[in-house]
Structure 1
């Protein structure tokens, strides 16, 4: 089943909003910096375009997670170039033992896996609902045409005249009647 434009736009918007929001949040928590307002807006448009390309049909959880991993990597790079300082987080504090790179990688991996699972479940629910609705709303196809059965040729034979003595005889089949 193929998705039409309204469904594709809705799915792409959900994919973009979840990806960019979660990536910006994970980036800010792990790196201690938040991106400026222009970068998430441009990232949202780019991820929306990617989602629009991928939303033509149902996708497996593996494809969704791979697309999210690529999106997370691109968003990390975009957010790293344009960052505004934010409050320090426990993940970047050197006293806790997690450096910025490990915390950043961990945050993006967790964001990717959670988002991938969430979007894959939503994808499954949407497509199962659409398949059920299609079965109920679309008319049944006409029954398959039954092939005609050709009968064997019927041969007539010459009628032999039967004598009246034979026609008046009673014929009883079976064992003789008790006396």
Structure 2
């Protein structure tokens, strides 16, 4: 199912917002700072990457790989834009662009859970759209001409014919006693 421009913009905005919030939260939680320019750049980058891919439903693997790639890009962008003193950089959890093991595990865990949440939301969104489309199509389907439930009355009922049922076994009555003696 293909999405129109308003749905694509809505889906891309949600994805870019969640991706930016995850990257920003992880960076701030690790002790870093983020400038307004880096924040705007991260949002524009997430939006630009996600918009071309928002035309149809995506699987968990696609959402995970896109979110993971954008998290790496945001981490690098935020780290390069990090204008902290050397003392503050040590409290950030890593020095330079390479994260420490704890930060890497935290990033991977948060990215996996967020990707699962986004993929489930994606599936729910498309399921609601499909059900809505089915409801609307059923509601606006042309109504057939009214037909009476009962046939028109005739003067005399038709004569009943006896039918011979070939496959019926008739065993009415008590069972037959069989003498084995």
TM-score for the superposition, normalised by structure 2: 0.67
Q: Distance between the aligned counterparts of 1:91 and 1:40, measured in 2?
A: 17
The answer to whether the 8 Å contact 1:27/1:107 transfers is no
Unaligned 5+ runs, structure 1: 94-98, 142-179
TM-score for the superposition, normalised by structure 1: 0.68
The answer to whether the 8 Å contact 1:23/1:111 transfers is no
Question: Helix, strand or coil for the counterpart of 1:83?
Answer: coil
Question: Residue deviations 1:40-69, cap 9 Å, x none?
Answer: 101101111111111100001110001011
State the Cα distance separating 1:92 from its structure 2 match.
3.7
- Pairing 1:78-93 to 2, within 5 Å after superposition: 78-85=77-84, 92=93
Q: Distance between the aligned counterparts of 1:51 and 1:100, measured in 2?
A: 25
Number of aligned residues:
136
Q: Which is greater in Rg?
A: 1
Q: Distance between the aligned counterparts of 1:134 and 1:73, measured in 2?
A: 38
- The answer to whether structure 1 residue 35 and structure 2 residue 34 are counterparts is yes
Aligned residues: CA RMSD: 2.7
Unaligned 5+ runs, structure 2: 143-181
- Pairing 1:30-179 to 2, within 5 Å after superposition: 30=30, 32-85=31-84, 92=93, 101-138=100-137, 139-140=140-141
Question: Helix, strand or coil for the counterpart of 1:33?
Answer: coil
